[in-house]
Amino acid sequence: MATEKTLKELAEYLGGTVAGDEGKTVTGVASLDDAGGEQITFLANPRYASKVASTRAGAVVLPPGAERHGRNAIVVANPYLAFAKLLTLFHVAPRPPKGIMDGARIGQAVKVGGDVTVYPGATLGDGVTLGDRVTIYPGAVVYEGVTIGDDVTIHANAVVYQGCRIGNRVTIHGGTVIGSDGFGYAPDGEGYYKIPQLGIVVIEDDVEIGANTVIDRAALTATVIGRGTKIDNLVQIAHNCVIGQNCTIVSQVGISGSTRLGNRVTLAGQVGVAGHLTIGDNVMVGAKSGIPGNIPSGSLVSGIPAFTHREWLRSMAVVPKLPDMKKTVAALEKRVKELEEKLAAG
């Protein structure tokens, strides 16, 4: 049976207030365009405010001060966060635990908490420790000595190398590799001698790591991903990096070794970060930027190499004009030459 909630119940759940019929019931969430009379929708972006008047939704989640056009509404400070919570409430069903299923490969001295699910084709190495409510999907491989906390999900074909530590409420998506060797080689003349990578990766609580991302183990100590950090698909984090808490690292970012990120750092898509540098707290880096050196806390930067975002915007405004400016400079050079020749001829 579908979940059914009154607007009063939802407002209490979301920490908001009802404008309209508190007893109105809804059974699901949909977009402004697609919602029907038994669904609730939301307005998070002001550019779509006009759609509140035309939506067929039974109720709308709105920010304070927004026009509700006579619709039933729940007013909250952060409609986008409310949308996420409503999706979880109505559409994310808890999965009952299935235990260690036939076809899973379990090593020696493995410790397993309560209500776990290990699917066929998953592999747990010797000495692995699983907390409560852990789910490991087919094809995932957990090497020996790994410690995994409570409420962790490791999706299909992800790999966690030996000795790494995964905190609580962590999600690792398919194809991701945690703890592969750092890229360390010592030149020995004509070639390179591999430097053993003896450290681990530590993933703290409430981290989510997207698909096909790689986080390398440290050479001696630990590569660390701080609590609450969210990492997108196709990200590379090299050995000995320390990523702070509640950072956002978007797809195709590459972070070189021994770099430290502060808390609440945002790296937009395709940012490249050089090694052995420090990025302070609350830094935002625009897409496709290159970071060659340290960045102080609170900075907003863009470009290759990155500099102040405001100056970068001014520079980019000039770029389309460069062909015409080149023609102008060439004409001025020609004119100057002609004047010099006339002066010389006297």
Considering the candidates 69, 155, 239, 309, report the single residue annotated as catalytic.
239
Residues with Cβ within 8 Å of residue 257, at least 6 apart in sequence: 182, 183, 184, 216, 238, 239, 240, 241, 275, 276
The backbone region for 133, taken as left when phi is positive above 0, alpha when psi lies in -120 to 50, beta otherwise, is left
Question: 197: how many CB neighbours lie within 10 A of its CB?
Answer: 21
CA atoms within 13 A on the CB side of 241: 26
DSSP secondary structure string for all residues of 129-151: EE-TT-EE-TT-EE-TT-EE-SS
- Examine residue 305 and say whether the peptide bond preceding it is cis (omega within 30 degrees of 0): yes
φ, ψ dihedrals at 141, nearest 5°: -125, 125
Kindly compute the dihedral angle of the four CA atoms of residues 124, 128, 129, 135, in this order, to the nearest 10 degrees: -20
Question: 119: how many CB neighbours lie within 10 A of its CB?
Answer: 17
276 is catalytic: no
Residue 75 and residue 112: Cα distance in Å, rounded? 44
Residue 113 and residue 241: Cα distance in Å, rounded? 30
- Closest by alpha carbon to 22, among 10, 34, 13? 10
Collapse the DSSP code of 273 into the 3-class scheme (helix H, G, I; strand E, B; otherwise coil) and give the result: strand
Q: Where in the sequence numbering do the catalytic residues fall?
A: 239
